Structure 1
Amino acid sequence: MTDVVSAAWLADRLGDVRLVDVRDAWEFDGIGHLPGAASIPFDEFRSADGDVGMLPGRDVWEDLLSAAGISAGDDIVAYDDMHGVFAARFLVTALLYGHDPEKLHLLDGDFSAWNQQYETTSEASDLPEATYDVTDPEKSPLVDFETVDAALDDDEVVIVDTRDPDEFDDGHLPGAVNLDWRELVDDETRGLKPRKELDAILDAAGLTPDRRIVLYCNTARRISHTYVVLSHLGYEHVEFYEGSLTEWEARDGRIVEE
């Protein structure tokens, strides 16, 4: 399962993992980055054909990871400076393109948390030569419009809207529960809240490990973070509606306003 790792965990393994920095290129160069990290800005791994939030395409993904010195068998640790939400989108994209979920890790607390404890650098990283080959995942969490529409009438499914409460009130899928992805993050540490707090928050929202869970937001960025967190916590029945509200509204899906 894709997991969340501490700065201390990463510090002990810097030479054994491939680091991906998804911040803007000017931040990578100007502010500095983790030693050995490759820069793959968020905008580079989103679809360029107008489908905001959608996958970039197999060829684009292979080129990006090959240029970053990453091979299909590598352990990858991704980070950003936004509590992990952009880095999580990178990791879910890797998962959907067949990377082993056991080799995908989100840095807990993002760049700022690392910077408080360990050294960063502005020097260019010496990246190895690599050829990345996309494969089909053994099991994909992706679900489509029709699957989500059918799930609305299934009492065994929890539909989760990971946007903020104001967005939720403006319009959401019928029966959805609102769990703002930021509720799982500690603003002070910039990382995940303690396990007991996470369990209490998730339980209050009806998200228990035995339930089938379907996640959506607007463009699949925020659900990526929630997906990674639930995976890290051992949830096995989590589905990822990548089209989210962008597709849902375009296809006249049912919407409830509060």
Structure 2
Amino acid sequence: MLTGIDALAGSLGDGRTLVIDARPFAEYSKGHIPGAVSLDLFSLHWVDTTPAGIDAFTSHMRLVLSMAGVDESRRVVFYDNASGMLAARGAWLLQYLSHPDATMLDGGLGLWRARGHDTETDLCAPVPSELRTAANPTLIAGYGDILAGGGSLEIVDARSPEEYSGKTVRAARGGHIPGAKNIDWSGTLAEDGRLAGREELGRAYPIARDARIVTYCQGAYRAAHAFVALKVLGYDDVRVYLGSWGEWGNRPELPVEA
């Protein structure tokens, strides 16, 4: 799930690595890793997790990623400013689409620069390709999956404590999914922007190894970061609730705790 700074630096220009800058284009244009293409992942959130909604999301994402040059023949490395939620969203998304080698840059652009590596401001136009891999339904969840899971799921809320408690409201209703455990994603980053070490991550996620885990946040970006952290720790059964609170909090028929 992670690619180190030095490993990426050694593979630039090898023709086998596609680097994707997941930040907004305005940030990309001020400086990016040489050869990286721009794909603003924050503009691609989705809040309909009915079966038809997930099918539409899958088709749309496959098309968008293909236009960015993604296919099965090259490894893909996503990055943002740190080991952040945008890069994690990209890594999770390609894992969901069964790409054989998709990771996030551990430490992001901040650590890349701190290590003395060059950046450029030239626009790198993507070369469209075709991503043909099948989606993996075991890595994604809809609201129906959470309702059907009942108390058998370990639900991880990756938002801030204020969002979890309902003090900060970003939907029609505040609060959290009943039974969810609040583990703020920002507490799993090291000072240099890398993902925290395994020991620290293990303390952050005191979850049984055989748990069936679903992560969520507001729009499934911080939830994707939690997914990456849990995969680094070796958890097998982890899904991202795609609609997250942007969907759950706006569906009045769904239960809420605050």
Correspondence for 1:145: 143
SS of the aligned residue for 1:78 comes to strand
Q: Secondary structure at the match of 1:12?
A: helix
Partner of 1:253: 254
Would you say the 8 A contact 1:219–1:245 is kept in 2? yes
Query: Which residue of structure 2 lines up, in the alignment, with residue 33 of structure 1?
Result: 32
Separation (CA, whole Å) in 1 of partners of 2:197 and 2:42: 31
**Superposition RMSD on alpha carbons, in Å?**
2.4
Aligned to 2:169: none
Distance 2:154 2:237 in 1: 10
> Is structure 2 residue 163 aligned with structure 1 residue 167?
yes
- Please report how far the alpha carbon of residue 82 of structure 1 lies from its aligned counterpart in structure 2 after TM superposition: 5.0
Q: For the residues of structure 1 that align with 2:211 and 2:62, how far apart are their CA atoms?
A: 34
TM-fit CA distance, 1:217: 1.3
The residue that corresponds to 1:124 in the other structure is 123
Specify the alignment match of 2:172 in structure 1.
Answer: none
Where 1:140 maps in the other structure, the secondary structure is: helix
Where do 1:44-123 residues align within 5 Å?
44-47=43-46, 57=57, 60-81=60-81, 83-100=83-100, 103-117=101-115, 118-123=117-122
Between the aligned residues of both structures, percent identity stands at 30
Matched, 1:180 2:184: yes
**Distance in 1 of aligned mates of 2:27 and 2:203:** 36
Partner secondary structure for residue 33 of structure 1: coil
Aligned amino acid, residue 148 of structure 2: A
Q: Give the structure-2-normalised TM-score.
A: 0.84
| 5+ long unaligned stretches in structure 2 | 167-174
Aligned to 1:20: 20
Measured after TM superposition, the shift of residue 210 of structure 1 is 2.1
Between stretches 211-220 and 136-145, larger displacement belongs to 136-145
Shift of 1:185: 0.7
Contact 2:85 2:222 in 1 (8 A): yes
Whichever residue aligns with residue 34 of structure 1, its letter is I
- C-alpha deviation, 1:208, in angstroms: 3.3
Q: Give the conservation status (yes or no) of the 8 Å contact 1:22–1:79.
A: yes
Q: Quick one: which amino acid aligns to residue 93 of structure 1?
A: L
Q: Deviations over 1:148-184 (max 9, x none)?
A: 1233323xx3111111111111111222111001111
Q: How does 1:190-229 map to 2 (within 5 A)?
A: 190-203=193-206, 207-229=207-229
What do the CA deviations read for 1:27-62 (whole angstroms, capped 9, x no partner)? 2122x1111111111245345xx759x877455434
